[in-house]
Amino acid sequence: MELTIRSIGHRGDGLAEHEGKGYAVPKTLPGEVVRLVDGKAPEILTPSPDRVVPFCPYYAACGGCALQHWTPERYRYWKRKLLVKALDARGIEPTVADLRDAHGAGRRRVSLHVRKMNGQWQAGFMAARTHDLCPISQCPILVPALKEAPAIAAACGALFGDCDVAVTAADNGLDVAVKAERLKADPHLHRAPEVLHRFSLARLSVNGELAAETHKPFVTMGTAEVPLPMRSFLQATAMGEQELARLVLEGVGRAKTVADLFCGVGPFALRLAEKARVTAVDSDKHAMASLAAAIKGAQGLKPVTLEVRDLFTTPLVPAELKLFDAVVFDPPRAGAEAQARALARSTVKTVVAVSCDPTSFARDATILAEGGYRFKTVTPVDQFLWSPHLETVAVFQRA
């Protein structure tokens, strides 16, 4: 079957139609004519003039990146358009700034699948839309500190069986978290120090429990050192975190009291507290404990109040929100609908929304706009280069 690719969808696949049926074809480009054969990669019959040679040797088979084969100019235009289209679908048309490149030195965290293939333990990513492992020996989009991540993951497989391995490059070493079947992993936990010392790791945890440690990994945020919880969430790149934080700080301006909602381990709260009183709220008890430790060890911060609270079910209400000059929220992919509705009823002067999903952001932005807020700035940030994932920072002010 031959198809003509019409556009690139929100997942990074080429979109086409044939006899009334839609098709999503990975690693194709608009205008290309491709031939599909069951069980095989699409054959490019007529390549696009915008097609370039991918720099990664695994790109053809690996499902990790989606768009290395597109010229940077066309890729950047498409990625900014993801946000524009999501807002257009809600009937709102703010001025969207140019896309900010925040890849920096590369991604500082990676999650790898580990399976036994041809008698050897291999680590890698799944091929696009399959459960077939594409083994790799290196990943060129990672920071240099993660060069050995595939080898580390494979070594964990040799001990714990089929597993998923998350490796994070902290400031003082690698933090490795393994998720494996307990019945197969538990009998071998005593051998975890072998992997720890072989690769000079800071910490190795298995199924959320500490298995071996030489020292506690930490990352620096602002002037504070934050001890990382096991399997902690960090922004994908150090430059991405810095760019998002810069936009947040610009957004709150001279606010003296700020609420940082869905604060995590504090990438915004710790920087905000250098100039304002901060109330930081999140449901993750481990993240909040790390933030508390970071605050305790930091110098020169203004008072920070911490609250463990599920903002999906119990958002801050207008009576609580009136205490703040500005509110920052950075929810997971699902967005912050309940909190946005409470903010829409509040008198808070400035709201800064940080989002990792254009669709949920557009919904939350619509709620704020209907509640009387106007867009001041909307900035797309690209720390997940060559993928369809996009960050957004938007500043809203009371009209």
Angle at the Cα of 227 (from 391 to 326), degrees rounded to 5?
45
Which among 66, 69, 34, 65 is positioned nearest to 50, based on CA atoms?
69
Q: Which of 65, 156, 263, 356 is catalytic?
A: 356
Cα separation, 267 vs 219, whole angstroms: 10
Query: In Å, what is the CA distance from 130 to each residue of 61, 87, 215, 295, 309?
Result: 11, 31, 38, 44, 37
Tell me the residue length of the chain.
399
Tokens of residue 190, six digits: 């005593």
129: left (phi over 0), alpha (psi -120 to 50) or beta: left
- Residue 164, H or E segment: strand 163-170
Cβ–Cβ under 8 Å, residues 3 and 16: yes
> 134 catalytic, yes or no?
no
Q: Can you name the residues that pair with 110 across neighbouring β-strands?
A: 167
Give me the residues paired with residue 250 across strands. Answer: none
C-alpha span between 167 and 312 (Å, rounded): 29
Q: Is residue 337 classed as helix, strand or coil in its secondary structure?
A: helix
The secondary structure of 194-234 as a DSSP string is HHHHHTT-SEEEETTEEEEESS--EEEETTEEEEPPTT---
Structure tokens at 233: 């969430």
Tokens for 204, please give them. 């190795």
Which residue, 382, 388, 396, 342, is CA-closest to 99?
382
Question: Would you tell me how many other CB atoms lie within 10 Å of the CB of residue 322?
Answer: 11
Catalytically annotated residues: 356
